[in-house]
Chains A and B, each alone.
Chain A
Amino acid sequence: MNSITASSEWTSVCRIGEIVPDTGVCALVQGEQVAVFRLAGDALYAIDNIDPDNGAAVLSRGLTGSLGERVVVASPIHKHHFDLRTGECLEAPQHGVRVWKVRVDGDLVQVGRGDR
Chain B
Amino acid sequence: MTMKLVVVGNGMVGHRLLEELAALPSSGLDVTVLCEETRAAYDRVHLSEYFAGKSADDLSLVTPGFFERNGMRLRLATRAVGIDRAMKRVTTDGGNVVPYDKLVIATGSTPFVPAIPGNDRPGCLAYRTLDDLDALVRWGGQSRHGVVVGGGLLGLECAKALRDLGLETHVVEFASRLMAVQVDDIGGQMLRQAIEELGLVVHTGKNTLRIDDGETRRHRMVFADGGHLETDLIVFSAGIRPRDELARLSGLGVGQRGGIMVDNFCRTRDRDVYAIGECAQWGGKVFGLVAPGYEMARVVAKHLGALLTRRQAAELPEFAGADMSTKLKLMGVDVASIGDAHGATPGSRSYQFSDGRRQVYKKLVVSGDGRRLLGGVLVGDASDYGQLLQMMLNGLELPESPESLILPALDGKPKAGPAVDALPASAQVCSCNNVSKGQLCAAVAAGADTIDALKQATRAGTSCGGCVPLATQIMKAELQRQGLAVDNRLCEHFAHSRQELYHLVRVGRIKRFDDLLARHGRGLGCDICKPAVASILASCWNEFVLQQEHAALQDSNDYFLANIQKDGSYSVVPRMPGGEVTPEGLIRIGEIARKHGLYTKLTGGQRVDMFGARLEQLPLVWEELIAAGFESGHAYGKSLRTVKSCVGSTWCRYGVQDSVGMAIGLEHRYKGLRSPHKLKFGVSGCARECAEAQGKDVGVIATEHGWNLYVCGNGGMKPRHAELLAGDLDADTLVRYIDRFLMFYIRTADRLQRTSTWRDNLEGGLDYLRDVVVHDRLGIAAELESEMRQVIDAYACEWKKAVDDPQVRARFRHFVNSEAADDQVAFVPVRGQVRPATAEEKRGRLGGIPVVVETE
Contact = CB atoms under 8 A, between A and B. Distances in A.
Most buried by A among B529, B560, B568, B839: B568
Interface in B686-707: none
B320 interface: no
Contacts of A22: 524, 552
Interface residues of B, number: 38
Given A40-B524, A66-B525, A58 B816 contact: no
Interface string B815-836: 1111010111100000000000
A78 B190 CA distance: 56
Interface string B535-561: 000000000000010011111110110
A65 B524 contact: yes
Contacts of B554: 63
Contact of A79 (B492, B527, B552, B814): B527
A104 interface: no
Contacts of B814: 26, 57
A62 B553 CA distance: 10
A67 B816 contact: no
A61 interface: yes
A63 B566 contact: no
B559 A61 contact: yes
A58 B568 contact: yes
Given A20-B548, A23-B552, A76-B564, A28 B815 contact: yes
A29 to B, nearest CB: 8
Contact of A76 (B526, B552, B555, B822): B555
Interface in A8-64: 12-14, 18-23, 25-28, 33, 36, 39-40, 50, 54-58, 61-64
Contacts of A40: 524
Nearest to A23: B552
Contacts of B508: none
Given A26-B816, A28-B820, A76-B556, A61 B564 contact: yes
Given A20-B811, A50-B824, A76-B555, A14 B816 contact: yes
B842 interface: yes
A49 to B, nearest CB: 9
Nearest to A19: B816
B567 interface: yes
Nearest to B819: A28
A106 interface: no
B655 to A, nearest CB: 43
A79 B527 CA distance: 8
Contact of B816 (A36, A55, A72, A79): A36
Contact of B492 (A13, A67, A77): A67
B566 A77 contact: yes
A74 interface: yes
Contacts of A58: 556, 564, 568
A23 B553 CA distance: 9
B64 to A, nearest CB: 31
B658 to A, nearest CB: 41
A17 to B, nearest CB: 10
Interface in B514-535: 523-527, 529-531
Contacts of B824: 33, 50, 55-57
Contacts of A79: 527
A76 B559 CA distance: 11
Contacts of B531: 63
Contacts of B839: 55
Nearest to A20: B551
Contact of B560 (A20, A21, A61): A61
Nearest 3 CB-CB pairings of A with B? A65-B526, A76-B556, A22-B552
Given A55-B839, A71-B524, 9 more contacts: A19-B816, A26-B815, A26-B816, A54-B567, A56-B824, A57-B825, A63-B552, A65-B529, A74-B526
20 contacts: A13-B817, A20-B548, A20-B811, A21-B552, A26-B814, A36-B816, A55-B567, A56-B824, A57-B825, A61-B564, A62-B556, A63-B554, A63-B556, A64-B552, A65-B524, A65-B527, A65-B530, A66-B524, A67-B526, A77-B566
